[in-house]
Structure 1
């Protein structure tokens, strides 16, 4: 396993419930997948199959550019969201470990997401995490952009991770790539919920700016890398199989009145808070 895998990995039941039964062709559990590190499943893509972020996204904005001046102004305005409900959501979004991260789109899909009830969807999220995250590292390692908290000296929502993040390139945002990849995938599985899914996916990227760990262009270009990754995934047979099974799980559970992983009222209240640009 290469150093990129090590770096990202270091951070990072029966389908019968309340009268919902197995659909034809839906297996109860997917085949086990090995972990590349404790808690991190092997992705669908080999390292050689990942999109080359360095060749896709533009260079980091120059220090004396209008683009960077805009980024700095956005960052300063976002510091005012500290200790608000929006900051609390950014704290949640910072945690990419499972089962916590499985709840990210639970409210958007109006259903629970967990290993017992939705095993294919749960695995789909876990396996696409390293694919989208690692795809950012060709650019991250090349540019080694300094993160905003190092520049402004203000707190971050990822308490205790300051030392690790200060030596990890900011551009593009790996968290954003993961969250936007999930949004693109889930919108394909549940197009009728696409508005809620995309709203939550965009907010996931915004959380990285609220958290004071990424600049706006880091987030924007993270979304580009996510789109490139999802495009490559479409030709992977294991991915497409898990997509088919996950679609059946969503059809069985979404909108059935079952409790989501998180408090959806609190999430909605946090999302109402405008993230300034």
Structure 2
């Protein structure tokens, strides 16, 4: 999914007042909680990307080379799955193993709506810096394919720095820790790995991913000051307490996911 698309959707919705959360139509992004003007400004908060020839740039290049070497592995396959954000329940299923229960519009509708609505804001939080720096992506510099070749024409036009996918993953992990604090370690680890999938995919540099996490933290902090977000968070907590009591386990193959993540280089 292109963050350019996310930004265009959020721009169209940003002027609308916040409404009670409802599950978004299949394949579409829900309205965010915040207007774009209320989001932390990544153009101010994020420093310039590593300069050519710098130690930081060399670190990025070495990490990208290690990622290319994993092409075709189980970790590469997981990176392909992590790239998908538009499929129904995509972000919820990504975190189901870490949460310990199935997250979906069917099993946890309030939580699914909370995550989708938050996702719209978290993703767009990176856009100002992306436009400012227009950094070339790894596959554009190293000539190696990405894990999502069909998206490459769009990604070439969308700045690499900072990573919107990384922001989404880390931000979702942070929000979920507020819903299921007992799984904080697992959820934050999965959010971190979700961002690193973009390095494995050869579409983001390590520094892109790190600054994406920074913008996620800033945006989630701002979301927590929003009363509608807080109301929906409380509803999601009650819903999840009930789901945990019912022992609704993940649909995802958690053993395969854990194995793929353990092999990351």
Cα displacement string for residues 184-220 of structure 1 (whole angstroms, at most 9, x for unaligned residues): 1111221110111111111001100000000000000
In the alignment, which of 88, 97, 103 is matched to residue 77 of structure 2? Answer: 88
Match of 2:117 in 1: 127
- Cα offset, 1:76, TM superposition: 0.6
What's the counterpart of residue 73 of structure 1? 62
The residue aligned with 2:211 is: 221
Residue 194 of structure 2 is matched in structure 1 by 204
Q: Deviations over 1:63-92 (max 9, x none)?
A: 121110111011111111111111111011
Instruction: Classify 1:272/1:255 alpha carbon distance in 2 versus 1 (closer, same or farther; 3 Å).
Output: farther
Give the corresponding residue for 1:54: 43
**Would you say 1:245 and 2:235 are equivalent positions?**
yes
The alpha carbon displacement at 1:255 in A equals 7.1
Q: Quick check: 2:23–2:105 contact (8 Å CA) kept in 1?
A: no
**Aligned pairs for 1:81-160 within 5 A:** 81-97=70-86, 98-160=88-150
Alignment of 1:163 with 2:183, yes or no, is no
Superposed displacement of residue 100, structure 1: 2.3
SS of 2:67's equivalent? helix
- TM-superposed CA distance for 1:123, in Å, is 0.4
Q: Tell me, in whole angstroms, the C-alpha distance in 2 between the residues paired with 1:171 and 1:128.
A: 21
How far does residue 107 in structure 1 lie from its aligned partner after superposition?
0.5
Query: Over aligned residues, Cα RMSD in angstroms?
Result: 1.9
| CA displacement, residues 25-47 of structure 1 (integer Å, 9 cap, x when unaligned) | xxxxx653777x96111100101
Residue segments in structure 2 that go unaligned for 5+ positions in a row:
10-19
Task: Give the whole-Å Cα distance in 2 for the aligned partners of 1:195 and 1:256.
Answer: 23
Question: Who is 1:20 aligned against?
Answer: none
**1:6 Cα offset (Å):** 4.3
TM-score, normalised on structure 2? 0.90
Structure 1: gaps (5+ residues): 11-29
* Cα distance change of structure 1 residues 7 and 107 upon mapping to structure 2, 3 Å threshold: closer
- Equivalent residues of 2:146, 2:202 under 8 A apart: yes
Tell me the CA shift for residue 153 of structure 1: 1.2
Q: C-alpha deviations, 1:141-180, integer Å up to 9, x for none?
A: 0000000001111111113001000110000000000111
The CA deviation at 1:239 is 0.7
Q: 1 or 2, which has the higher helix percentage?
A: 2
